Structure formats: C-alpha cells, structure tokens
Amino acid sequence: MSSPPTLERRRRPLARSFRLGLFVAAVLGNATGLFAWQQVQHERRIDLEDVTSRSYALAQQLSARVSQALELPEEEARESLEGRLEGYRRLLGYAVFRADGRMVGAGTAMFDFARETEDASRAAMLSQQELVRVTRAAGARIHILAKPVPPAGTPAGALVVVHDVSYLDDRATARFSQYAFWILIETLLAIALVVGSTWLAYERPLSKLADWMRRLRVDNVAEAPPGLPTGQLRSESDRLAASFRAARSTGRALSEAAVHVEQVWTRDRLRAHAIASLGEANQLIVVSNREPYMHRRQDGKPRLMVPAGGLVTALDPVLEACGGLWIAHGAGEADRETADAAGRLTVPPGDPRYTLRRVWLTREEEQGYYYGLANEGLWPLCHLAHERPIFRVEDWEQYVRVNRRFADTVLEEAGASGAVILVQDYHLALLPRMLKSTRPDLRVGLFWHVPWPNPEAFRICPWAVEILDGMLGADLVGFHLQQYGNNFLDTVDRTIESRVDRDHFAVELRGSRTAVRPFPISVQPWVERNVPRDQELAGQIAAVREQHQLGDAFIAVGVDRIDYTKGLPERFRACERLLQLYPQYRGRFTLVQLGAPSRTHIPRYREYLDHLEALADEINWKYQTDRWKPIRFLIGHHDADTVYTYLHMAPMCIVSSLHDGMNLVAKEYVAAQAGGSGVLVLSEFAGASRELVDALIVNPYDIEQFAEAIRRGIEMPATERFARMQRMNAQIEANNIYRWAGNLLSELSRTQPSNVVSTTGS
Ligand code: F6P
C-alpha cells in the first residue's frame, strides 16, 4: 500500500506559490515606487516654478525704484530704499548691489545669506542675465533670483530676491510617505492575489493530480482523474490512465492469453494485442457519426442512453478493452451539459475506460450530412432494399463540410504524436483522405458497416469518384464480407483511374496503397455485461410475460431499429401466414417485436413506422382473442437488460433483413442462448447468414417459405435445436468482437502508412 501524502509534501506547492507572490510583489513594488518618486519630483518642480514666477513679479515691481536709487549717492540711495527691502512669510527679503559689488541695502533677514546673495548678484551682472538658484544656507533651503538693473545694457547694479523654500522639502517627504503607504497596501494585495490564484488554479489541482497518479501507480485506483485546469491536461490524463491500466494488465493478459486455448479472444488478450499493434503510435482513436453514450433530457434532467445499432454494440467493448478516444457527433439534447467545454467526457459513466469527444453540429449540418446525404443517399444506395436514393447538392456540401469538421477534430486530438485512427462507416467516407493529406504518418483504417453494392448500383451516385477517392486515403478498408470487398474492388476498377491488385486485394492510387479485407464483426459475450442473472432474470421474464399477456405461448422475438431494410412487414406477414396455414398456433404463438424508432426526421422512416403499426393492428384485429395477440409491437428505446431478457427467454428469434451488412441481433441472440436451445430464423440477405449456417435460413421476400421456416422452428425436436444452437454458439464464442478488433489492428499494423496524395474533388 502507498503512504498518504505527508504534510511536508502538501506544503511545498504553497511555498512555491508564495515565492511567486513575492517575486510579483517585488517587481510591482519597485515599478510603482519608481513611478511615485518621479511624480513627487515633478510636483516639486512645479512648486519651484511657482516660486520663481512669484520672484520675477516681485523683482519687476521693485526694479524701477532700484534703478533710480542706484543713480543716487550712497546715503540717499539707502534712504530711498528704506523699508522696501523687508520680506514677509516665505519671502525672506531683497538685497541691492552696485556694479562694483558693494551692497546698497538689504532686508534684515538677508544678512544670514550675505555670501549667497552677493555671489548671485555678481554672476547676474557678469552674464547680464537674470539668474535663479536654489541652495542650502543657514539651515534653510533658499530660492534666489538675481536680476541685473537696468535689465538691458551695462548693469548699474543688481536686485536679489530671496525666498525660504524649506517647506517644499517637507511637502515632498509627506507626499512620498503617502505614496509609500498605498504601495505597501498594493504589494500585500498582489501577494495575496498571486498566492491565492496560483494555489487554486494550478498548485492545488496539480497536487491532486500528482496524488491521483501516485495512487494509480501504487494502488491501481479505478477512479477518474481529478478536475484539472486545462482541457488538454484533462484529456491527456484520461488517456494516460487508460493506457496505464491497459499496460498494467499486459503481463497478466499475456499469461492468461497463453493459458487460454489459442482461439479464444478475451478482453485482456485484445488489450495486450492492441498495445503491441499500436506500437509507437500508442494512441487509438475511433471516429463515427453515432456516439456510444448519449444524454437525452427526461423530466428536465439528463438521462443516459445507449443508442441502438450494431456499431455501438460492437465498438464500445473494444474501446473499453483498449482505452483511447472515441470521436462522434454529440446528438443528444443534454449532451453539451454532460461534457466539458471541449465536448469531452470519460465513459462508461461510473467505470470510465476511455474518452468520448463529442463533435457539435448545427441543425443544417446534421440535416444535410446525416439525414440527407448519408441516410437518404448512401444508405439506400448501399442496401438493395428497393428504396430510391435521393442525392441533393446541398446535402453533399454539408457532407463534405462535416467530414472536414471531423477531420479537424481528429487532427487536434492526435496532436503531434502518431495515432491509429479507425474511421467508421458511410457517414465519414471522405475522412481518410482528409486526414492523410495533412498527416501522412497517421495509420488510418476505414470500416464499412453496411453492404457495398455492385458497380452498376454504386455508379448512380453523382459523387462516386469523390467518395472512392476519400475512402482510398485509408491504409486499410474493411467490410463484413469478402463479397462486399469484391464489389468494392470492381467499383473502384470501373470508376477511377487506379491499379486494382486482385491477387493481394489492394488498390494503388497515385502512389499510395489501400488494402481491402473482410472482417466479420461480432459481439461481446453477455457474461461480461451487467445484465440480470438467475433469480433476477427469472423475475424479469415472469414480469414481461405478465405485462404483455404472453401466457405460455411460444415466443418469437425480433429486435430492430425501425428501418425499411429490416424486412419487418415481411416478418409480420410471415407470422400471419403461419396462423392461416396452421390454425393450431392461434393463441399459442406470439411475435414480440422490439422496435427502436430511428431517423424519424426522414419522411420515409415515419411512413414506414405508420405502415408497420397499421399492419400489426390489421393482423392482430383478424386473429386476436381477449387474452392473446399474435403480434406485440413494442415501439421505443429498450435498454440492454430488457433486450437480454427477451433474447434469453425466447425460444425463437427472427431476423428478416432485406439486405444487411452483418446484423448483430442474430449474433446477440446466439450469445444469449449460451447453453440454450433457441432457434434462429435468419434472412439469407444478412451478412450473419454466412457464419450462422445452423440457423433456419430464409428468403424474407418468399412469405410461404418464411412461414414454413417458422413452423419448422417451432416443431423442431429439442435435440436438434440444442445441437444447432451449440454449434452456432461455439462459432460466436470463437469469433467474438475481440477477435474482430484484434484482426483489424493486426492487419492495419501490417500496412505502410504511405497515402500522402492530396484530395481530388472533395
Ligand atoms: O450499422 C449501420 C449503422 O448506420 C451504424 O453506422 C449506426 O450506428 C447504426 O446503423 C444505427 O443507425 P443510426 O446511427 O443512424 O441511428
């Protein structure tokens, strides 16, 4: 165990703040002291100028009489000046001298300054100019003005005016003391301010950070880093913690991995593998449109939600295992208030394993890029579901713009060091080229989660060239199936000037090389997830049976985003046909369809939802009884616990996609049936049908065959059901999500990051 930080260790940062405070105070004190000194001197000069002006005025008034007196003999001259040479208050008096230096007369107080006045009069007569002197004599500071008389021509004598200006020294001292007092107050305030603010803003957080790092190192604490003063430091410490935890478990992971049968990929094995594959890059960044954790607002408060969709299901466990950063669109209404100023937060909440960086988009950007180009254009283009793609130039412009926004965010987060970037899906097709044209050293992989159509289908896209060029910026492009990869190579071959290397499944374009590989995506084992078990699970199952009046009916479950590619009308119709052909199942078979509304701003998706509701109503109306309905259509967002409860309890799962890259619900069902004997009815047009050959494979367009497959599943002998499910289960266990990520990283680390050519059209 580590020792707690000592008092001595806590004091050190405070002493540092104090030293900084003293330094700032010294600089400030000296600067303001110098300024005060100059100010006092300036004011003193002004006071002296006042005295000088006054002396000139007095000398002026007397100079006519002095001039007359100098023309008289000695005695008469003295008499004519009698009484006029005395001073009062600060004016000490006057003295009059002849040209030969003899004094004609002077005020009484002037005799103390006989030498100074005589010197001044002589100098003035010699230079034939008025002269001002400030000097110290007889214990006082005096101001002397000596004026030749008459002022022009050869002087007949001189008039001297003397003031006592000792009070100006006293005044300067008093002013300076006053300034010194305020300088002292200001200096003390500066010390307090500097010590307080550096302590609060830097020393305290840094000392907490040091404490947290020590505990991370010594005690391996799982808590999030403390609040830090800068966003960059926060994000770096998040990553550091994630990497450190990953590195710490490397040894354990390696030895565990060695003990395990070689085929089994675990979270720890992936973590160890990721560290080795990332190499010097040492930083994994995943980029997708959809974020793994979204905050919606419910009853005025932020509520955490995990969005539906295979991408999140698959990639969250990968990031949890490897640590790193996930950049995605912050689409939830409460997303901003639950992230920091840069859009960052650590996730999963409560057990942070990696950092999520949210990218903010305007309504127009989201409309054009996500709803428009991505989901009304590319989505129907890639899925052969007989939906006409819509391409609008303004959507394309937003698509380019948002891809650029994501690229800027990735470049900012990657910093100067190397990084491995895993770009996800059709929303971000331009990103690889944008990244590589700025940072050729980054290793960039692109994984395409949806099917890739044949070249004839793809070439209707007005920006086919730009999209392919953007994708070919990547070092590696991954698809679920080899068939999609082949379609992609054919499309590239027919669309852009490049060399397609079919022997090695790669494309060479303007000196760069992109490998094209299949990576069938998969799922995380349910045992690793915090879902209900044993008694709790039994309670949940009883509760949902009760809630939806399922009685002891045979349950077939469907779990889908509500999307026209999922074949939901076909599924409903197949269930209806089952009840028509085999009336014995009326009252004894129920399809529970969990449907998460999706992309509902798009009219086609709203129409589809309305159509499904009407269809379910129509079928239910035909067959339902007081206590039973053939279709329970549960529209809404269903959390992982609910989904697991249905997948575990249902003896049948139906996946009827008209076209689907993989479809992870099929794999989730198999994983939830570990040790069980459920039947999977699976569309031949879902990528998962290539691996799950023990499912009952159907063509969802063929309603007769589909209904027959459901009947066959219901009636299948228990031993056959069990054997099929165990074979599928072994397949999913061996080819889980950790193996998928491990293969992807291995392949990416084998590529040469050489794609340096700049973008053509985008
Ligand atoms: O699997 C394809 C995909 O588009 C993913 O990219 C996405 O996460 C998922 O479907 C759900 O769709 P959306 O993100 O549009 O809700």
Q: Where are the domains of the chain?
A: 42-170, 276-522+745-750, 530-734
Mean pLDDT of 202-209: 79
Query: Has residue 250 got a pLDDT over 80?
Result: no
CA distances from 649 to 560, 575, 676, 709, 713 (A): 17, 19, 10, 20, 15
Contacts of 452 (CB under 8 A, 6+ apart): 382, 458, 479, 484, 485, 487, 488, 491
Among 109-123, 233-247, 713-727, name the most confident range.
713-727
Residue 355 CB partners (closer than 8 Å, separation 6+): 235, 238, 239, 242, 324, 325, 326, 344, 345, 346, 347
Atom number, ligand 1, closest to the C-alpha of residue 311: 8
* Ligand 1: residue whose CA is nearest its atom 16: 598
- pLDDT band at residue 647 under the 50/70/90 scheme: very high
The CATH class given to the 530-734 domain equals alpha beta
* Superfamily (CATH) of domain 42-170: PAS domain (3.30.450.20)
CA–centroid distance, residue 616 to ligand 1 (Å):
25
Check residue 238 and give its pLDDT: 65
Mean pLDDT of 638-647: 97
Q: Which ligand 1 atom is nearest residue 312's CA?
A: 8
- Helix, strand, or coil (residue 668): helix
Instruction: Work out the average pLDDT over 8-31.
Output: 77
Report how far ligand 1's centroid is from the alpha carbon of 104 (Å). 114
Nearest to 289, CA basis, from 387, 405, 382, 389:
405
Q: pLDDT tens across 585-603, in order?
A: 999 999 999 999 999 999 9
Q: Which of 449, 566, 599, 664 to mutate to test the pocket of ligand 1 (most atoms within 8 A of CB)?
A: 449
Look up the CATH number of domain 276-522+745-750.
Answer: 3.40.50.2000
Distance, CA of 373 to CA of 391 (rounded, Å): 6
Atom 9 in ligand 1: residue holding the nearest Cα:
309
Report the nearest atom of ligand 1 relative to the CA of 563. Answer: 12
Residue of 142, 101, 137, 144 whose CA lies nearest to 122: 101
Ligand 1 centre from 2 Cα, in Å? 46
- For a substitution probing ligand 1, which of 311, 313, 367, 406 has the most ligand atoms within 8 Å of its CB? 311
Residue closest by Cα to atom 5 of ligand 1? 311
Centre of ligand 1 to C-alpha 345, Å, is 22
Q: Which of 613, 506, 511, 488 is nearest to 562 (CA)?
A: 613
Cα angle 70, 75, 77 (rounded to 5 degrees) comes to: 25
The CA distance from 490 to 487, in Å, is 5
Which has the minimum average pLDDT: 141-145, 174-178, 447-451? Answer: 174-178
Q: Is the pLDDT of residue 2 over 70?
A: no
C-alpha 559 – ligand 1 centre gap (Å): 14
CA of 377 to the centre of ligand 1 (A): 14
Using the mean position of ligand 1's atoms as its centre, give its distance from the Cα of residue 152 in Å: 105
Residue 661 CA: which ligand 1 atom is closest?
Answer: 1
Q: Which ligand 1 atom is at minimum distance from the Cα of 288?
A: 6
318-345 pLDDT per residue, tens: 999 999 999 999 999 999 999 999 999 9
Confidence tier at 191 by pLDDT (50, 70, 90): confident
For ligand 1, the distance from its centroid to the CA atom of residue 526, given in whole angstroms, is 21
Q: Given pLDDT bands bounded at 50, 70 and 90, which one contains residue 399?
A: very high
Dist. CA 599 → ligand 1 center (Å): 9
The ligand 1 atom nearest the CA atom of 375: 15
> How far, in Å, from the CA of 379 to the mean position of ligand 1?
10
CA of 375 to the centre of ligand 1 (A): 9
What is the identity of the amino acid at 472? L
Burial label, 160 (beta-carbon count in 10 A; 0-12, 13-18, 19+): buried
Same fold, 42-170 and 530-734: no
Confidence of residue 258 (pLDDT cuts 50, 70, 90): very low
If phi over 0 gives left and psi between -120 and 50 gives alpha, with beta otherwise, what is residue 260? beta
Percentage of residues of the chain with pLDDT beyond 70 = 91
Query: Residue 198: pLDDT band by 50, 70, 90 thresholds?
Result: confident
Measured in angstroms, how far is the CA atom of residue 62 from the centroid of ligand 1? 105
Q: What pLDDT score was predicted for residue 245?
A: 58
Mutate to test the pocket of ligand 1, among 289, 290, 406 (most ligand atoms within 8 A of CB): 290
User: Residue 379 CA: which ligand 1 atom is closest?
Assistant: 4
Which ligand 1 atom sits closest to the C-alpha of 370?
A: 15
Q: Is-contact 417 397, C-beta < 8 A? A: no
Out of 312, 425, 452, 565, give the residue to mutate to test ligand 1, the one with the largest number of ligand atoms within 8 Å of its CB. Answer: 425
**Section 395-407 average pLDDT:** 98
Q: With 0.85 as the threshold, say if the pTM is over it.
A: no
Pocket (CB within 6 angstroms of ligand 1): 290, 309-312, 425, 449-450, 561, 598-599
Distance, CA 383 to ligand 1 centroid (Å)?
13
State the pLDDT at residue 240: 62
Q: Quick one: which atom of ligand 1 is closest to the CA of 425? A: 6
Which ligand 1 atom minimizes the distance to the CA of 662? 1
Residue 150: HSE in the Cβ half-sphere, 13 Å Cα cutoff: 6
Q: How far is the CA of 347 from the centre of ligand 1 (A)?
A: 20
Evaluate if residue 750 carries a pLDDT over 80. yes
Atom of ligand 1 nearest to the CA of 450: 2
Atom 12 of ligand 1, nearest CA residue: 309
- Strand ranges inside 643-717, DSSP E: 652-655, 679-683, 696-698
Distance (Å) from CA 450 to ligand 1 centroid:
9
Which ligand 1 atom sits nearest the alpha carbon of residue 598?
16
Length of the chain counted residue by residue: 762
